[in-house]
Structure formats: structure tokens, C-alpha cells
Structure 1
């Protein structure tokens, strides 16, 4: 149950960072209204708060989040932007995900 809770927090943090960053991107790169950038900034700030809900220390949380972010960014690009990840994207994301799961979830004494 602890693993599911922490994965949920990682996914929520990823949605905040990617979603907020995407709104800022749209505002600055796609000439969307200013409120896109403001809302994106607020959501990005929420990302910083959500990440603190993890029970581990800062370094381990952010290292692990980096791998989860890779996977989520590829999924976002695929579903939202129509980017089709190739086999190297998928292999790299899988390697990153396995690595960060070892970092975060390996039993320690």
C-alpha cells in the first residue's frame, strides 16, 4: 500500500509539473493568453508542494521523480502532442524507470 501511495504522489507531481510547464509553453511559444502562463505557474508551484508528500528525503525523492518524469513526459507527448515514441524512447524510459524504482523502493537497513 505504501508503494501505491508513493507512486500516486509521483504521478500527481508529474501531472503538475508537465501540465503547468505545458501551459507556460503554450503561452510563450503558441501565443496563448497570459492566463495560460499564470495558471501554469500556479500549477508548477503546486508540483513543489506535492513532492513534499513523499516520506523519503529530498535527494532520493527528486532522483526517483526524474525517472518517473521521463516516462510521463513521453506519455504526455504521445497523447497530447501526437508524438510517437520509438523503441529507443521506450527502452530508455524503461531503463530509467527500473533504475529509479531500485533507488527508491530497495529495502535498506
Structure 2
């Protein structure tokens, strides 16, 4: 699979997981009604389905996906929570993404 398609699929997967977890969080904090649990469940089901589309072995997929999740969580922090990531957030996400690139795109037989 094309590296850009793989990263894009990881990013969409991360958004589905974040939304699926964020909506129940809002409900638990009394910031949203119980109705948000329905789209949360749909989002988490989409997350599982999207994760199954990744072409690599499950262990490598989960390891590589984790770094994309870290980066997308920081984007969410900025876009939704209104908190701009600091240089340490950016450094940590960059290191995680570098590790992901090694795991996901290393030449293998």
C-alpha cells in the first residue's frame, strides 16, 4: 500500500477512535446528553472496521497506529479543546511518528 494512503488510513482510524471516546467523556462530565452514546458507538465500530483494513500484521499495525493516534490526539487538543500543543508535545509526536515510519515502511522479505 502507498505510504500516503497508509498514513491517511491511520489518521481516519485515529479520528474515529478519538470521537468514539470523546463523546462518552462529554456525557460522563455532564457536558452532553445521553444521545451522544449512539454516535460514539458508531464511531468505535467504524474504528474497529477501519483498523481491519490495514494491510500489515496486526502487531505492527497497532504499533504504527499508536504514533498516528498520538499526533491526532494533539491535533484534537488544539482544534477541539483550544489548547495549542507546546514544543514538547511536537517533539514527542515527531519522535513517535519517526518510530512509526520505521515500523511501517521498513523493507521486509
**Aligned counterpart, 2:82:** 82
Is 1:29 aligned with 2:29? yes
Q: How many matched pairs?
A: 109
How far 1:69 sits from its partner (Å)? 0.3
| Equivalence for 2:5 | 5
In 1, distance between residues paired with 2:30 and 2:78? 18
> Which residue is 1:54 aligned to?
54
Which residue in the other structure is 2:99 paired with?
99
User: TM-score normalised to the size of structure 1?
Assistant: 0.93
CA drift of 1:4 comes to: 1.7
* Residues 14 and 69, structure 1, Cα contact 8 Å, conserved in 2: yes
TM-score normalised to structure 2 length: 0.93
Q: CA RMSD in A?
A: 1.2
Which stretches in structure 2 are left out of the alignment for 5+ residues? Answer: none
Deviating beyond 3 angstroms after TM superposition, the runs of 4 or more aligned structure 1 residues are none
Offset at residue 29 of structure 1 (A)? 1.3
Structure 1 gaps, min length 5: none
